[in-house]
Structure 1
Amino acid sequence: MKKNQLEIACFNYESALIAQENGADRIELCENMQLGGTTPNSILVVKVRENLSIKMHVIIRPRGGNFVYSDEELTEMKQDIKQYKKLGVDGFVFGILKEDGSVNKKQNKELVHLAHPLSCTFHRAFDVVKDIEKSLEDVIDCGFKTILTSGQGINVEEGIFTLAKIQQLAKDRIEIMPGGGLRSSNIELLQEQLEPTFYHSSAITGKTETANPEEIKELKNFL
């Protein structure tokens, strides 16, 4: 039987250690919290990998802003995937859209293929797609294993009914991972509406970029 698990978005080395020490099942490593997370530098990736025994996914996002990328940016993303595969990461997190708000299947497939056999998560670019149902099918067709989304809401609470709908449509073909403003204060509400899944939180509870160990423990208590 499937069970709930917890992924912590980590913006620095300290958060990664805190996540592991307090029961997280996996981390998503990134930098630049104010930009919503961008590709971490290789020194950080190596340092975290050397000191972490839990699974570690790395975001591949060359800049903040929209999710439409130039050929140069796509090349940069490919190079990062090639390099980080060699460093022993467990998966990648990215998402590419077209100007019209649809999923760029060609570019996403190239990256998923390059990442193989590591698993790929389609990140919160999904929160700005125009057609949720078609985009879900496109993401599945690209070979992603997970979609990280707030259900197109400002946060997971606002997107809760959309999350439930996407999860129902996805069936067992892809995992729907709620993320965006997820905290111990609202995770119970989500569990009432959703099937068991991975939950995603930065577990940050103050003016800092570092995860709060007590918040991670609280999140795990609910799972």
Structure 2
Amino acid sequence: MLLEVCIDSAHGAAAAQAGGAQRVELCSALVEGGISPSAGLVKACRAAFSGALMVMVRPRGGDFLFSEEEQQVMLEDIRQAKALGADGVVFGALRADGTVDASATERLWSQAKQLGLDATFHRAFDMTPDLPQALDTLVRLGIPRVLTSGGEPTALQGAGTLAALCTQAAGRIRVLAGGGVAPDMAAELVRLTGVTEIHSAAKRRHASAMTYRRPGMSMCSPHPPKDYEWNTTDADTVRALLNAVKGG
């Protein structure tokens, strides 16, 4: 069995090392499902963790329908991950109809392969309308691994589908089970599905050491992230702000 721990900090990398994890997936903004981490964070985690380091390649939160400009960012992030000592990358791309974007996925995988990197297709897989069909696409593209909960909120809920995906995979792609995996149910998940790799954040709540907390002030958005809606810079709003401050 292989345990992959999802981390978002150098502390997480050190904890994964101390706990004996064989592999980590490094992300930022886990509350949004994970986005690409900074170069400084990749470097710090590489120093703290001696096992396999997989780096998330996702330019923003929200959906997985990526423009040409966003794909260019992802390609550069793959190059940077290699330069910073990563062993692999984690990505996923979908079309507007929810199916796997084979063209974008092949492009990203080709870049990773050329650099000698491992790769995982992440849980964008669980947002597709037909998981067996999506798996066939990934097999055809030669993707080494797919992270999935079986299309359910948690891997245990999706155990039946995970088992079927493992049978369908038949050794052609590794099925990495993730989604709410905790110590009290991990053994049952393995028994029900036959997976040989599991993925977990292995997290606990951390309390801030700040002694001063300004009343009524928060930098956090009051609205939780959404899968199909996110904020982006708007040119008209930029112009309106400039006009306002210029008195125009």
For residues 136-177 of structure 1, the C-alpha deviation after alignment (integer angstroms, 9 at most, x for no partner) is 011112221111001000111111101001011001001101
Q: Take 2:119 and 2:68, find their aligned partners in 1: how far apart are those partners? A: 21
Identity of aligned residues (%): 37
4+ runs deviating over 4 angstroms: none
Task: Quote the residue 1:147 is aligned against.
Answer: 146
Give the one of 107, 132, 135 matched to 1:110: 107
Letter in 1 for 2:176: M
C-alpha RMSD of matched pairs (Å): 1.4
Q: 1:34 to 1:73 in 2, by over 3 A?
A: same
Task: Quote the residue 1:213 is aligned against.
Answer: none
Q: Secondary structure at the match of 1:92?
A: strand
Q: Take 2:81 and 2:100, find their aligned partners in 1: how far apart are those partners? A: 24
Q: Secondary structure at the match of 2:162?
A: helix
For residues 5-26 of structure 1, the C-alpha deviation after alignment (integer angstroms, 9 at most, x for no partner) is 1000001110110001111001
Output aligned runs, 1:117-128, within 5 Å.
117-128=116-127
Q: Secondary structure at the match of 1:185?
A: helix
Output aligned runs, 1:1-223, within 5 Å.
4-116=1-113, 117-206=116-205
Please report the TM-score for the alignment, with normalisation by the length of structure 1: 0.89
Q: Take 2:19 and 2:29, find their aligned partners in 1: how far apart are those partners? A: 23
Q: Take 1:191 and 1:14, find their aligned partners in 2: how far apart are those partners? A: 28
Q: Take 2:50 and 2:190, find their aligned partners in 1: how far apart are those partners? A: 27
Q: Deviation of residue 205 (structure 1)?
A: 3.0
Whether the 8 Å CA contact 2:131–2:151 is kept in 1: the answer is no
Q: Take 2:107 and 2:125, find their aligned partners in 1: how far apart are those partners? A: 18
Q: Secondary structure at the match of 2:119?
A: strand
Q: Take 2:204 and 2:64, find their aligned partners in 1: how far apart are those partners? A: 27
For residues 59-99 of structure 1, the C-alpha deviation after alignment (integer angstroms, 9 at most, x for no partner) is 10111111110111111000100111112210010000000
Letter in 1 for 2:2: Q
For residues 179-211 of structure 1, the C-alpha deviation after alignment (integer angstroms, 9 at most, x for no partner) is 0100011112112112241100000133679xx
Q: Which has the larger radius of gyration?
A: 2
Larger RCO of the pair (alpha carbons < 8 Å, separation 6+): 1
Q: 1:192 to 1:208 in 2, by over 3 A?
A: farther
Q: Secondary structure at the match of 2:76?
A: helix
Q: Take 1:184 and 1:50, find their aligned partners in 2: how far apart are those partners? A: 27
Structure 2: tracts of 5 or more residues without a match: 209-248
Q: 1:58 to 1:208 in 2, by over 3 A?
A: farther
Q: Take 1:103 and 1:127, find their aligned partners in 2: how far apart are those partners? A: 10
Equivalent pairs, count: 206
Structure 1: tracts of 5 or more residues without a match: 210-223
Q: Take 1:207 and 1:160, find their aligned partners in 2: how far apart are those partners? A: 30
